[in-house]
Structure 1
Amino acid sequence: PPEPPLEEVTRRDFLKVLGVGALALYGEALVTPVEAARHPNAPGALTAGERFGTYALTAPRVYKGEHLGAVAMPIGGIGTGTIWLDGQGRLRVWQLFNNSTESRVPGSFLAIRVQSEGKQPELRVLQTEPEPGFAACQSLTFEGGYPLARLDFETGLPVAVRLEAFNPMIPTDTANSSLPCVIFRVTVRNTGNRPVDVALLSTLQNAVGYEGGGEINGVSHPGYGRNTNTPVREQGLAAISMTTPSEPPWTGFLRTRNDDGRVLTSDPVLWLGALDGVVELANAGTLAMGGIDALSRLSDQKAVVVSSGSTKAFFESLKAAKEGPIADKYLSVFEDFEGATYAGWKVEGEGFGDGPAPGTLPGQQPVSGFVGRGMVNTFLPGDSPQGKLASRNFKFEKRYLGFLLGGGNHPNETCMNLWVDGKVVRTATGRSTERLEPYSWDVREFVGKEGQLEIVDARSDGWGHVNVDHIVFSDVQPDSLLRLSGAFQRLAKKVPIDFSEVEEVTDGGAAAQLAGGAQGGAPWQLRSHLRLKGLSSPDGEIKVLAQAPNGDPVLVQVPFGQAWLILSLAADMPWEWARKLICRVNGLDEKRVRFETTRGGFGSMALSTSAADAKALPAWTKSEALAAAFAADSTFPGNASAQSSEAGSTLNGALSVPLKLAPGQERTESFVVTWHFPNVERFGHEGNHYCEVFDDALDAARYVSADLEPLTARTLLYHRTVYESNLPEEFLDAMTSQSVIARSPVCWRSTEGYFAGYEGAYGCCPLNCTHVWNYAQTHARLFPELGRNQRVSNFITYLHDDGETSHREHGAQGAFADGHCACIEAALREHQLSADDAFLRRVYPGVKKAMDWFISKYDAKQEGVTRGQQWNTYDTAVSGLNTFIGSQYLSALAASEVMAKAVGDSESAARWLALRERGMKAQDEALWAGEYYIQVPETPPGHDYNNGCHSDQLLGQWWAHQLSLGYLYPPDRARQACQSIYKHNFKPDFAGLPQIPRRYVDEGDGGLYMCTWPKDDRPDPFTLYSLEAWTGVEYSTAGLFVHEGLIEEARAVVRAARARYDGRPRQNLNSGGGVCGMGNPFQELECGKFYARAQSSWSLLVAAQGLVLDGPAGVLGFKPKWQPDDHRSFFTVPEGWGLFVQTRAAGKQTDRIELRHGRAVVRELVFETSPAAAASCTVQHNGQDRKAKLQRGAAGEVRIALAEPLRLTEGDVLEAVLGG
């Protein structure tokens, strides 16, 4: 019979208790029971494309020389994590472990061995940076047509070597574009005149246990230990499986599974190592501290906590904590800001006020984490004032300087600096949170010198302030001391034991005995134990579970709030004992359960190849030794059995594939890295979706290996089809490079399939922010499932009862006006990209409520204009009549009307149509200023732009064009407004131009301002960020230009944007940094990396081809704005994609649709042509005539209704010939 379900407790509940900053939060208590692993539907072999034409390729962008310095392409699937391949050929950043750090895993690279007849073998690592024992390549070129990184190496050897690195990316196939892998496809060609023996080498470090924190020194890291590399040989697969055993588990929270793998919902279990004293833990580092912090916060939960040992220092620290804060005895306070003024500090500017703040200031989120009553807080008022605060000089006498810091995460602008010898030697910023967190600097190198502290507030926008308190000196790391002091104080109040002193007793190897004569499993040999003299419990009974031979307790159970604490008074209690006790307390059958850690770094990895003659080296640790072995014999003779590492270290594994190449011959072999790291929680959403699809990394490797050929072929076909488009190369570059975003650190998918994206990487402004994702087109056009997922969140999961949308999804949030309209517009896009109307019928009730909510909120008189304060993506509110919000309002009305008609809601459709028509007239009359559309503010004003020329003034018209909704304003005025935007806002060179408040354009680079004031009448205050340049707005504006026929203007804007990301490192720009700096072509900036708004770049394609699409209705058409006489472009439909080709000659127009992947149902075709060509048409499907009826429309539009619906499958060609 099935087991009765136990009470469900989620890790979300833990986070409320433990606090998200605790490093001990390595997992959840339990999750939804895991279903059996379900692989994607295999992509299948490609259908032969003999019907397809042969077309010239537009070359992808190539980086070389100085343009390689900032290049780093993240490679991974949707929501899987990524490995970044940099411009030196290195695997530079590893973000597989649910981490947001830009850390490198060493021992992981590709190399080649080449031996010509009669010569010694030579080795090269496929990088331009050497590895010990492996010489580097002389140079490389990096072709960056995402998703394919194509590197050509100059090796100095008689072979040409090309690496193609990618993750399968197959538009409309979300599942097979969400695989946790990187494929390395190496092609070697013999360029000499003699045969050569070649061997390819791929190596990988078993990084299970690493969580992205701290540097890995060779194979050493505190998170490593018991890492096991197991060679696997199966039909069509050679692999090295990389794991760690689940038991004994790592310390931290444990998950309990039944013997069939199902997660059990027992009380949460916290398994701790030895409990140590405050100084010892502080010196041991963050990993060691986490257990105490977690333990101290757990007493209010039903839980079982077990420690494997305790030290004398732990109990002494616990006793000291009962008497007062422990940290005070180790810290020397330099400044606590408890006075009424900044005495002893030099104040510049107005940002710091007259003296320390009493905590939270008016209009500020709650401030916490400071000590005492006073602190530095520059939120005065609302982040606007700026300034500096400089301390008196001081002499360094201790090893560490510590402080509490919060506020904005703006390097060099909201920060604490340390000056020594006239320069800044240390700096720190907040984490864009109002909580002050402990920080420490190791300053031992400055002992004997003088220093000065400087607190800086040089920002006036969001998080443009800094919080500082409690500056101290110490010889013990202060941030650790401060964290531990609070943890021990909490423990002292909650652990119900008293004792007078602690004594260490030697046992000499005698065995501990369970109380009552029970068996504990493995013997526990006691070297020594602790005797707590005068041990008593004022609040509860102390239960002795095990004793030393002399009768002293060595294992006790005490109540700990609602939890149970099992405390070992001797070192190294065996895991078998802890296991038995946990099962006993939780009522579990110890024979039917297993435990595993919930740390983010727990999981598995695999290195594999399909090469039949591959050889495995399951364990190596020194690169020089690997090189020597590889040079001596590439087949790695010797031990190929599973091997495991010692505590604190791991193993590397390697696979080699031999090749024999005759002169001119080439061969290609592939290596695959796969991973599986399931433990993560984000804003209440558990796990990673890909971990529900695969059991482990080896399971993923088997899937990829079995389908490597079709996964590779379809990815390469997508890449080729995109570049067979003859669009401007800068358009293709912008489109493809920013399609990385859905597969970057910005986006993730939880176990239950929820798709979420930040604004920028690493949690910058969560979650699915409507006013930023307003601009994003790429993810939904390439993977319609993702767009539909977001709309379900908008209109079902997070919709308010009255129809107000949530502009973010990580808590209770209201609507932003522009983002609210965007959700409605995007709902129509998602419907058009669906195969039927099931999605629309599901979300339409929410869409209807949302449209009517907007009307009641901003247009109560139903005039078709917006009034009141309209919060928007510029992090401020604009007031009154304007076309920035107003055009999106009209576009949302038009979209709602179309959707209402589709579901049969004629009353709403008629109502919204009438309102839109009134608004189109009213807005045009009130806001047209002869050259462009302006704003008419209200009283009180907002952050307005008044008579400014706003780049987003026709954002709703951009949306309307994308959705084939027609014009919202007179076409001639829309075009004139676009010309004005280009004239006033585009600057080919930003040298000497202001950029306020953030800087995204380097000297010599060009860009598009958000808003300018041609009449020099900028209001005060004005729309924030007006004097910045954002690629997301540059692309959407350029897309609008294309729709309006302003092709060269669009090209100039896009060229300027992409020139800023040409691979050359930039300096002193905002929101960048990290290992690759600024200038990375795959990492555009705006309040974070991989900024989601840049997905507006896909609108360049939709505009250039003039896409007309209604998936459920079977309508597909194109009205090219780019080269209508000779046009080629990639396109997507709900369940497939292909290439559209249009040619015109001698009065004849030929429109050709090649479906290269998936399927499509076509009932009606739509094109634009000349009157002469519109006189007749023929339609052929795979060369066979199809009956069709031609209908002429306005402005050269023709609609071709097919007599019978055509069900296209991949490989099919549909061709219409007009005229001739």
Structure 2
Amino acid sequence: METMSKTYRGNQTREISFPLGGIGSGSIGLAGNGRLVDWEIFNSPNKRSFSGFSHIAVKAEADGKLMDARVLQGDYPAPYMGEPIRGGAMHSGYGFGPESNTLAGMAHFRQVEFEGAFPFAKLAFTDERFPGQVNLTAFNPFIPLNDKDSSIPCAMFEVELENPLPHPVTYTVAFTACNPKPTEQIVHAYHFAEGVHSLKLGSAQYAEDDPRFGDITLAVQEETVSYQEFWYRGGWFDNLEMYWRDFAKPGMLTNRNYLPEQPPQRHQDNATLAAHMELAQGERRKVRFVLSWNFPNVINHWNPEPAVQPTAWRNYYAGLFLDSLASAQYALREWERLEVATRDFQTALFSTTVPPVIMEAVSANLSVLKSAACLRLTDGSFYGFEGCIEDVGCCEGSCTHVWNYAYALPFLFPSLERSMRSLDFRYNYREGGSMAFRLMLPVGREPEPFRACVDGQMGGVIKAYRDWKISGDHDWLASHWDVIKQSIEYAWSEENPDGWDADKDGVLEGRQHHTLDMELFGPNAWLSGFYLAALKAGAEMAEHFGEAERAIEYRALFAKGKAWVDEHLFNGSYYTQRLDLSDRRVLEIYDNGESLAGDNAVADYWNEETGEIKYQIGDGCVIDQVIAQWHANLCGLGEIFDPAKTQAALRSLYADNFRSMRDEANAWRLFSLNDEAGLVICTWPEGTQRPAVPLTYASETMTGFEYQAASHMIQEGMIEEGVAIVSAIRDRYDGEKRNPWNEMECGSNYARSMASYSLLLSFSGFEYDLNRGMIGFAPVRAENGKFRTFWSIGSGWGVFEQHSSGAELQVLAGHLTLNVFKLPQLSGIDRCRAVYQGGEQSSVLLEGALIFPNPITIQAGQSLRVTWE
């Protein structure tokens, strides 16, 4: 199997920070040179942060003499003038060179290679002075459908050593961690239980319900271990001097301790745990360390309730583990099982036969789930920011119009995705059918008063439909059906001050808030498409619940709206907006409620100087014009727009919006520069008029939007064009200019980038409906009839493989109960053979599907084989 992992060297490692941590549990970044950075374990982002002298170091000795000792890091990346620090320690920052805690001044490795294939990072360190190559593998469990083990608050490190010399060598691997919360009453304690050596670092100063309460633990499972509970306390740089003196000599560490009542001096306290082993010539050994954390109390520090003492809640992992010692012991005890399951996922995912750049995009953005952009609430429910600012989540509330694009969570951890729907429908619903699009924390807080958002609200209906099909959970859908209906019908409700579809004709004409943070006025395919897809999904759900009249009503509205949009909004090349930009009366009709710029529509949108309405598409070619069809293809909703017009729109989008940024005039945020290429949000091709103040973010290249369009192109047969767009994105995130595991939009670790997971679904043509017990595959490209892909759905996951005369569906975890198995190759053949558990299964061929009169349940480790002639 080709792993498709990518290796970064030299300058290409400078921006890397690979997040290691659980889903919603925080993370620590592994830098491209091996340093531990971005300590985001305190229930909030913490970009560009470090934690004291935390690091791994190695040494080799023989015959009682030190051969070499080095920090397990490569060269510190330039510049070397020092980082600007505002309010930092005197005599530090710019003009003083790198900080001493970078360990750039200590002996380190000359060469390092960083190989990344999420969820594993592997670094190879070499130096002519050190006997043998040292390999570091780091990960946190990532196991589809197993959200508990994928949420452990820890980072797991495996250091591999091999003795290349003709005589025995004693190697030491030492892991140092800094107590990250400098306080009084510092407590560092060594523990040994069931073969696990650990150092727990905390403080006795805070009560257990205090948001500042917490601890971290270093743990290792080795026979020969030494440790220092505390580094030497002193002034100047005494601590580092004494540590290196203790480490860089033959033998084991001697413990040092201080009492809690002894106050620290200038520096934060560090502790070191070291494993020692003797290797014979050619012998290879691996040492496993776990760094875990426990900061269980969360408060809303980003948007606290006015005049209310912040209410703390316990995060999910606090209900699983008593403290960081418990999670470290669990991770070490279960290491083999956790690593095997995570490797099985990685192997299955990377076995997919797509261009390597596609798999790079699919896998890299899964790391968002491990970032500080995500939280898990006390009951395990999932909550997400849009992204991360340096020290706070950016744009709170599991924002519905952003998370619309994020297709990884619903397929890999469907129960977590459904928890987002449940929170949304329970807490964001407002009397009359309006939905807030940001969930306020703590849960139960009043929804924000901001106006409803079309793509967020209608997207919520589409996502509920999708999640129902992924899970087959009737009861879950039934519990939210009343709110889903009201969400749809709010479009024509008299309670809707924005008059989305006031005349109930299936087309949106009113004031329409959307994911580009302002409002459109008048009919447009982008937002009307969301409405049409929601109507179609709603009709199918209504039928499921026996509401035939409602289903008929929704379908009639859908048909009427679809016909109008296709006839009146397609200009021969792409879909546009129907609006007279010079008509101020449009704004006067809908001059109510808040926008991001204020309350008054005329004041916010009217450009008096040019006599135009601002922030509109007009005749422009916008990136999301047919996004509803993308959603429909992924969710099994069928046709939303005319197929030929959809393909024409995508061809125009590629021709008009995909461009190099060298000669562009971009007044907005700069996500592409110089000769980098990208798919911009909106263009006005030759012969059209660009508004003086155009659609918000018009000139930007935002990866989530780009992945959506590229994925849709692939669905429609424009494979080369889709791959070209993805390649342009990943060229921008090359490790030197930007972090390959952190794509940006409104902040870093941006949720919308998980639209890249849809590339996998588009290439494989994955179909699913667990209500019917159906899955299917229709790959867009199969070389010589061969194709292989990873798949995951509510009850199980595995791989699908086809060749010219057969196919195999393997379940690697969970199970899959099948009534219908759809493959395009089954169309037009008279007979096929289905074999399950060594026996032929009774089945019926019908219109490209294999139907089993008696459902079969494929368990983990089993497969279904189908052959035809």
What TM-score comes out, normalization by structure 2 length?
0.86
Q: C-alpha separation between the residues in 2 aligned to 1:1138 and 1:635?
A: 46
For residue 694 of structure 1, report the CA deviation from its aligned partner: 1.3
For residue 843 of structure 1, report the CA deviation from its aligned partner: 1.4
- The structure 2 residue matched to 1:673, chosen from 274, 278, 291, is 291
Q: Residue by residue, what CA displacement relative to the aligned partner does 1:757-809 show, whole Å, maximum 9, x if unpaired?
A: 12221232221112211211112222112211111122222111222111212
Q: C-alpha separation between the residues in 2 aligned to 1:854 and 1:972?
A: 28
Equivalence for 2:694: 1022
- The structure 2 residue matched to 1:834, chosen from 467, 471, 478, is 471
Say whether the 8 Å CA contact 2:297–2:312 is kept in structure 1: no
For residue 139 of structure 1, report the CA deviation from its aligned partner: 1.4
- The structure 2 residue matched to 1:797, chosen from 427, 430, 434, is 427
Equivalence for 1:121: 67
- The structure 2 residue matched to 1:721, chosen from 337, 344, 348, is 348
**Residues 830 and 227 from structure 1, CA distance in 2 versus in 1: closer, same or farther, beyond 3 angstroms?**
same
What letter corresponds to residue 1169 of structure 1 in structure 2?
Q
Equivalence for 1:844: 481
For residue 634 of structure 1, report the CA deviation from its aligned partner: 4.2
- The structure 1 residue matched to 2:773, chosen from 1097, 1101, 1114, is 1114
Equivalence for 2:203: 244
Counting only pairs closer than 5 Å after superposition, residues 754-773 of structure 1 correspond to structure 2 as: 754-761=381-388, 762-773=392-403
Larger Rg computed on CA atoms:
1
Say whether the 8 Å CA contact 2:186–2:203 is kept in structure 1: yes
Q: C-alpha separation between the residues in 2 aligned to 1:932 and 1:1041?
A: 14
- The structure 2 residue matched to 1:1160, chosen from 801, 808, 816, is 816
What letter corresponds to residue 674 of structure 1 in structure 2?
S
Equivalence for 1:914: 556
* Higher relative contact order (CA closer than 8 Å, sequence separation 6+): 1
Equivalence for 2:179: 206
Q: C-alpha separation between the residues in 1 aligned to 2:229 and 2:260?
A: 7
Say whether the 8 Å CA contact 1:57–1:725 is kept in structure 2: no
Please give the secondary structure, in 2, of the residue aligned with 1:632.
Answer: coil
Does residue 787 (structure 1) correspond to residue 405 (structure 2)? The answer is no
Counting only pairs closer than 5 Å after superposition, residues 130-141 of structure 1 correspond to structure 2 as: 131=103, 134-141=106-113
Q: Residue by residue, what CA displacement relative to the aligned partner does 1:319-357 show, whole Å, maximum 9, x if unpaired?
A: xxxxxxxxxxxxxxxxxxxxxxxxxxxxxxxxxxxxxxx
For residue 116 of structure 1, report the CA deviation from its aligned partner: 4.9
Please give the secondary structure, in 2, of the residue aligned with 1:1104.
Answer: helix
Say whether the 8 Å CA contact 2:569–2:577 is kept in structure 1: yes
Does residue 1143 (structure 1) correspond to residue 803 (structure 2)? The answer is yes
Say whether the 8 Å CA contact 1:685–1:750 is kept in structure 2: no
What letter corresponds to residue 1185 of structure 1 in structure 2?
E
Q: Residue by residue, what CA displacement relative to the aligned partner does 1:1159-1211 show, whole Å, maximum 9, x if unpaired?
A: 22222111112755x3322112243322211111xxxxx11112322222221
Q: C-alpha separation between the residues in 1 aligned to 2:756 and 2:261?
A: 48
Does residue 629 (structure 1) correspond to residue 264 (structure 2)? The answer is no
Say whether the 8 Å CA contact 2:451–2:513 is kept in structure 1: no
Does residue 707 (structure 1) correspond to residue 334 (structure 2)? The answer is yes
Q: C-alpha separation between the residues in 2 aligned to 1:1091 and 1:905?
A: 39
Q: C-alpha separation between the residues in 1 aligned to 2:693 and 2:751?
A: 27
For residue 132 of structure 1, report the CA deviation from its aligned partner: 8.1
Does residue 1091 (structure 1) correspond to residue 750 (structure 2)? The answer is yes
What letter corresponds to residue 149 of structure 1 in structure 2?
A
What letter corresponds to residue 180 of structure 1 in structure 2?
P
Equivalence for 2:840: 1185
Equivalence for 1:956: 628
Q: C-alpha separation between the residues in 1 aligned to 2:643 and 2:166?
A: 65
Equivalence for 2:80: none
What letter corresponds to residue 848 of structure 1 in structure 2?
K
Does residue 188 (structure 1) correspond to residue 161 (structure 2)? The answer is yes
Q: Residue by residue, what CA displacement relative to the aligned partner does 1:25-67 show, whole Å, maximum 9, x if unpaired?
A: xxxxxxxxxxxxxxxxxxxxxxxxxxxxxxx224212211111
What letter corresponds to residue 839 of structure 2 in structure 1?
Q
Unaligned runs of 5+ in 1: 1-55, 211-222, 251-594, 1066-1078, 1193-1197
- The structure 1 residue matched to 2:850, chosen from 1197, 1200, 1209, is 1200
Q: Residue by residue, what CA displacement relative to the aligned partner does 1:507-533 show, whole Å, maximum 9, x if unpaired?
A: xxxxxxxxxxxxxxxxxxxxxxxxxxx
Q: C-alpha separation between the residues in 1 aligned to 2:351 and 2:338?
A: 20
What letter corresponds to residue 1201 of structure 1 in structure 2?
I
For residue 1008 of structure 1, report the CA deviation from its aligned partner: 0.5
For residue 158 of structure 1, report the CA deviation from its aligned partner: 2.8
Q: C-alpha separation between the residues in 2 aligned to 1:958 and 1:787?
A: 19
Q: C-alpha separation between the residues in 2 aligned to 1:225 and 1:132?
A: 29
Say whether the 8 Å CA contact 2:21–2:153 is kept in structure 1: yes
Say whether the 8 Å CA contact 1:133–1:623 is kept in structure 2: no
Does residue 659 (structure 1) correspond to residue 277 (structure 2)? The answer is yes
Q: Residue by residue, what CA displacement relative to the aligned partner does 1:442-469 show, whole Å, maximum 9, x if unpaired?
A: xxxxxxxxxxxxxxxxxxxxxxxxxxxx
Please give the secondary structure, in 2, of the residue aligned with 1:121.
Answer: strand
Equivalence for 1:105: 51
Equivalence for 1:891: 533
Equivalence for 2:4: 59
Counting only pairs closer than 5 Å after superposition, residues 598-617 of structure 1 correspond to structure 2 as: 598-600=210-212, 602-617=213-228
Does residue 158 (structure 1) correspond to residue 131 (structure 2)? The answer is yes
Counting only pairs closer than 5 Å after superposition, residues 436-455 of structure 1 correspond to structure 2 as: none
Q: Residue by residue, what CA displacement relative to the aligned partner does 1:1028-1051 show, whole Å, maximum 9, x if unpaired?
A: 111010000001001101100000
- In angstroms, what is the RMSD of aligned CA positions? 2.2
Q: Residue by residue, what CA displacement relative to the aligned partner does 1:68-93 show, whole Å, maximum 9, x if unpaired?
A: 11111121111211111111110022
Say whether the 8 Å CA contact 2:211–2:296 is kept in structure 1: no
What letter corresponds to residue 203 of structure 1 in structure 2?
T
Unaligned runs of 5+ in 2: 76-101, 233-238, 305-310, 441-447, 494-498, 587-612
**Residues 614 and 720 from structure 1, CA distance in 2 versus in 1: closer, same or farther, beyond 3 angstroms?**
farther
Say whether the 8 Å CA contact 1:58–1:725 is kept in structure 2: no
Number of residue equivalences: 778
Equivalence for 1:84: 29
The percentage of counterpart residues that share the same residue type is 30
Please give the secondary structure, in 2, of the residue aligned with 1:892.
Answer: helix
**Residues 1190 and 140 from structure 1, CA distance in 2 versus in 1: closer, same or farther, beyond 3 angstroms?**
same
Q: Residue by residue, what CA displacement relative to the aligned partner does 1:585-606 show, whole Å, maximum 9, x if unpaired?
A: xxxxxxxxxx556143x21111
**Residues 1083 and 1140 from structure 1, CA distance in 2 versus in 1: closer, same or farther, beyond 3 angstroms?**
same
Q: Residue by residue, what CA displacement relative to the aligned partner does 1:94-149 show, whole Å, maximum 9, x if unpaired?
A: 12123433321022111111235686331121101473895101111111222211
Larger CA deviation: 1098-1107 vs 605-614: 605-614
Say whether the 8 Å CA contact 2:575–2:625 is kept in structure 1: yes
**Residues 695 and 812 from structure 1, CA distance in 2 versus in 1: closer, same or farther, beyond 3 angstroms?**
farther
Q: C-alpha separation between the residues in 1 aligned to 2:320 and 2:653?
A: 48
Q: Residue by residue, what CA displacement relative to the aligned partner does 1:1120-1156 show, whole Å, maximum 9, x if unpaired?
A: 1132622111111113221121222xxx2x2222211
Q: C-alpha separation between the residues in 1 aligned to 2:197 and 2:262?
A: 22
Say whether the 8 Å CA contact 1:932–1:977 is kept in structure 2: yes
Say whether the 8 Å CA contact 1:239–1:616 is kept in structure 2: no
**Residues 765 and 641 from structure 1, CA distance in 2 versus in 1: closer, same or farther, beyond 3 angstroms?**
closer
- The structure 2 residue matched to 1:1133, chosen from 786, 793, 797, is 793
**Residues 140 and 816 from structure 1, CA distance in 2 versus in 1: closer, same or farther, beyond 3 angstroms?**
same
Say whether the 8 Å CA contact 2:491–2:502 is kept in structure 1: no
For residue 179 of structure 1, report the CA deviation from its aligned partner: 0.8
Equivalence for 1:1080: 739
Q: Residue by residue, what CA displacement relative to the aligned partner does 1:554-585 show, whole Å, maximum 9, x if unpaired?
A: xxxxxxxxxxxxxxxxxxxxxxxxxxxxxxxx
Q: C-alpha separation between the residues in 2 aligned to 1:126 and 1:950?
A: 48
Q: C-alpha separation between the residues in 1 aligned to 2:199 and 2:547?
A: 59
Please give the secondary structure, in 2, of the residue aligned with 1:204.
Answer: strand
Say whether the 8 Å CA contact 1:128–1:136 is kept in structure 2: yes
- The structure 1 residue matched to 2:663, chosen from 965, 985, 992, is 992
Say whether the 8 Å CA contact 1:644–1:651 is kept in structure 2: no
Say whether the 8 Å CA contact 1:160–1:188 is kept in structure 2: yes
Please give the secondary structure, in 2, of the residue aligned with 1:977.
Answer: helix
The runs of 4+ residues in structure 1 deviating greater than 4 Å are: 116-119, 637-645, 647-650
For residue 155 of structure 1, report the CA deviation from its aligned partner: 3.0
What TM-score comes out, normalization by structure 1 length?
0.62
Equivalence for 1:545: none
Tell me which protein shows more strand as a share of its residues. 1
